[in-house]
Amino acid sequence: MVTVNIDSRGTACPGPLTDIIRAYKKASNGDILVVMATDPGIKADSKSWCDRTKNQLVDVKEKNGEYTVTIKITGKS
Amino acid sequence: MKRILIVGGGAGGLITANKLAQDLSVELKKEEISISVIDPAVYHEFQPGYIGIAFKGEKPEAMRRHVSSLILRGINLIPEKCARIIPEENKIVTGSGRNMSYDYLVVGTGCEPDYSQIDGLSRDNLDYHTSAEKSANLYRAVSSMKTGKIVVGIAGLPYKCPPSPNEAALLLDEFFTRSGLRERVSINFVTPYIRIYPAEPINEVIEPLFRERNIEMSTGFTVDRIDTAGKKVISLEGDEIPYDTLMLVPPHKPGDFLKGQDFTDEDGWIKTGKTDLHISTYENAFAIGDVTNIPISKAGVEAHLEGIVVGENIVSDITGNNVKALFTGRTQCSMETGYGKATFVIGTYTKPVLKLSPSKDKYIMKKMMEAMYWDALMGRTEAIFKAYFGDDYIQYQSRPVRAPA
Ligand SMILES: Cc1cc2nc3c(=O)[nH]c(=O)nc-3n(C[C@H](O)[C@H](O)[C@H](O)COP(=O)(O)OP(=O)(O)OC[C@H]3O[C@@H](n4cnc5c(N)ncnc54)[C@H](O)[C@@H]3O)c2cc1C
């Protein structure tokens, strides 16, 4: 199990989701993706993406316009 | 003599070289500078034309020209591959083992489909992202198809020209509708994103078209592998989509020679400053176009505008003109939506993507931009681009005044 930090700050839609999908491809079940982003779209998009792909949205934090999204990879077959 | 070396003579490299040759024509004539382009390709292909070849039967020959016919007099064309870039020593090593030193370096080696990332994909996939010839093969396959399930869309990220898979689906619908076979041919669009087009404003105008035209939508589907025996596309979650004909856009990769370098990321994309386009911390080295790790679309308009910015800054450095140009992140990807209509995906680093409905006017504009392509590479259309892109063309920032030595 590894934690992968992804810095998507300063990238706008679909930047953060592109980074998440690329990291997902390389990840294994149990891995944690921690995504930092400034695009407010990340909040709704990461939720929809997790719902759609059976991964788990652990946490979304917002501080001074910066979002930290934590996703646990659980969807891979 | 100041030596400017441009690695890769594609959409970005050619405009950079030609702009430099125009703006520094006096220095070039006096042999105070040299401009060299190193690229093994004999022909440059107009890659956006692959869509017309693959889905409308346009001629591949019309989409290519000799690289040597696309550079201005005075530029040296070196028909070789770059095998290694060593920015800390201001030099590159060519495929034949020759060292070439430079004072300024511009890298624009693009990217290419990477079939190795998706098991089975190379066996069954019809491709419209590699070459004009392969795109013509796709059209032949489509033309002989009478019935069956087409799976079209995105097999992995990143890839060139974000709207191209959407265009493919919409143009396939038009093709089979016009030939009276649409009822017998199903089209399923797969994407790892949660929308048909990832940027919401464009999705709002595109998704209704997919519904109207009965194109199935498989969103959040991240392709893992292709089961060629069972004719199924399999996702990372184990979901399956059956196909008879497969037309997925493979994930792309930068040239293998860039892997494992300090100035590239783990996949080989060049670490590039978003606005100043410097390679990593190197003041005299720049990257443009698809090879950068800049998180915007990989598209020709960006490669072009980045080439202009880098050109401006090199000219400014050589002539002592105290301005610094910055790239605005402007995108302008066209999306043909069928039946003679198109839209554009337009945004910058600071302006979100616009909601632009498809129209005939935009289709005409797309066609006009295509017709200008070869002249644009030669730097003959900049006055038009400047007027059209306005503030997004270049952002200027004065250089800090240097203390006298
Ligand atoms: C189907 C399709 C549709 C598209 N539609 C659009 C569109 O509508 N609008 C748009 O703006 N863009 C579009 N594009 C994208 C656009 O064509 C590319 O983004 C653009 O060509 C990138 O320019 P570049 O200079 O970075 O790379 P390229 O133009 O690909 O050029 C790279 C050059 O580098 C050379 N090279 C590679 N490796 C080496 C090496 N080791 N040494 C020396 N030379 C090397 C290659 O031979 C090539 O000449 C589309 C692309 C495709 C495939």
Q: Which atom of ligand 1 is nearest to the CA of B255?
A: 38
CA distance to B43, B48, B66, B93, B199, per residue, from B62 (Å)? 12, 12, 12, 34, 32
Residue A50 annotated among the catalytic residues of the structure: no
pLDDT at B148 over 70: yes
Pick the range with the lowest mean pLDDT from A7-16, B34-43, B119-128, B233-242: A7-16
CA distances from B381 to B19, B123, B347 (A): 11, 42, 21
Active-site option among A13, A21, A44, A58: A13
CB of B7 sitting under 6 A from ligand 1: yes
Pairing of strands B148-154, B245-249: parallel
Report the mean per-residue pLDDT for chain B: 96
Is residue B397 very low, low, confident or very high in pLDDT (cuts 50, 70, 90)? confident
**Both tokens of residue B171?**
């143009």
Residue B400 has pLDDT above 50, yes or no: no
- B349 to chain A, any CB pair closer than 8 A? The answer is yes
Instruction: Provide the pLDDT confidence category of residue B398 given band limits of 50, 70 and 90.
Output: low
What is the model's pLDDT at position A17? 94
Query: Which residue ranges form the domains of chain A, and what is each CATH number?
Result: 3-72 (3.30.110.40)
Cβ pair B301, B320 in contact under 8 A = no
Return the pLDDT at B289: 98
Is residue B17 in contact with ligand 1, taking CB distance under 6 Å? Answer: no
DSSP symbol at A76: -
State in Å: Cα B69 to ligand 1 middle. Answer: 17
For this complex, say whether ipTM is above 0.90: yes
B286-323 CB burial, b ≥16 within 10 A, e <16: bbbbbbbbbbbbbbbbbbbbbbbbbbbbbbbbbeeeee
CA closest to B234 among chain A residues: A77
> Which pLDDT score, from 0 to 100, does residue A63 have?
95
Mean pLDDT of B15-41: 98
- Name which of B193, B219, B234, B351 to mutate to probe chain A: the one with the most chain A Cβ atoms within 10 A of its Cβ: B193
Could you give the percent of chain B with pLDDT greater than 70? 98
Q: Is 90 exceeded by the pLDDT of residue B323?
A: no
Tell me the mean pLDDT in the region A53-74. Answer: 96
Residue B285 has pLDDT above 80, yes or no: yes
pLDDT of res. A1: 83
Give me the numbers of helices (H) and strands (E) for chain B, helices first please.
11, 23
Note the pLDDT tens digit of each residue in B129-139.
Answer: 999 999 999 99
Instruction: Name B105's bridge partners.
Output: B5, B285
pLDDT at site B278: 98
Among B residues 197-216, those touching chain A with beta carbons less than 8 Å apart: 198-200
> What pLDDT digit, counting tens, does each position of B174-229 carry?
999 999 999 999 999 999 999 999 999 999 999 999 999 999 999 999 999 999 99
d(CA B346, CA B353): 5
Q: Got the DSSP string for B197-233?
A: SSSHHHHHHHHHHHHHTT-EEETT--EEEEETTTTEE
Measured between CB atoms, which of A11, A13, A49 is closest to B199?
A13
Pairing of strands B285-287, B104-107: parallel
B124: pLDDT strictly greater than 70: yes
Any A CB within 8 A of B240 CB: no
What residues contact residue B314 under an 8 Å CB cut-off, 6+ apart? B4, B20, B104, B106, B286
The answer on pLDDT for B111 being more than 90 is yes
Whether residue B305 has its Cβ less than 6 Å from ligand 1: no
pLDDT band with cut points at 50, 70 and 90 for residue B322: confident
Identify the pLDDT of residue B403: 44
> What is the pLDDT at residue A11?
77
pTM of the model: 0.96
Note the pLDDT of residue A15: 82
Counting other chains too, the contacts that B55-61 makes at CB distance below 8 Å and 24 or more residues apart are: B55/B128, B55/B138, B55/B139, B55/B142, B55/B167, B55/B168, B55/B171, B55/B172, B55/B175, B56/B139, B56/B171, B56/B175, B57/B139, B57/B143, B60/B132, B60/B133, B60/B135, B60/B136
Give residue-wise pLDDT tens across range B340-373: 999 999 999 988 899 999 999 999 999 999 999 9
Burial B6-26 (b: 16+ CB within 10 A, else e): bbbbbbbbbbbbbbbbbbbee
Number of residues written out for chain B: 405
Per residue in B14-24, pLDDT (tens digit) is 999 999 999 99
Q: Which of the pair, B399 or A41, is modelled with greater confidence?
A: A41
**Terminal Cα-to-Cα distance of chain B (whole angstroms):** 21
pLDDT of residue B367: 96
Instruction: Give percent above pLDDT 90 in chain B.
Output: 95
Is the per-residue pLDDT at B296 higher than 70?
yes
Residue B59 has pLDDT above 60, yes or no: yes
CA angle B353, B356, B362 (to 5 degrees): 120
Distance CA B236, CA B224 (A): 5
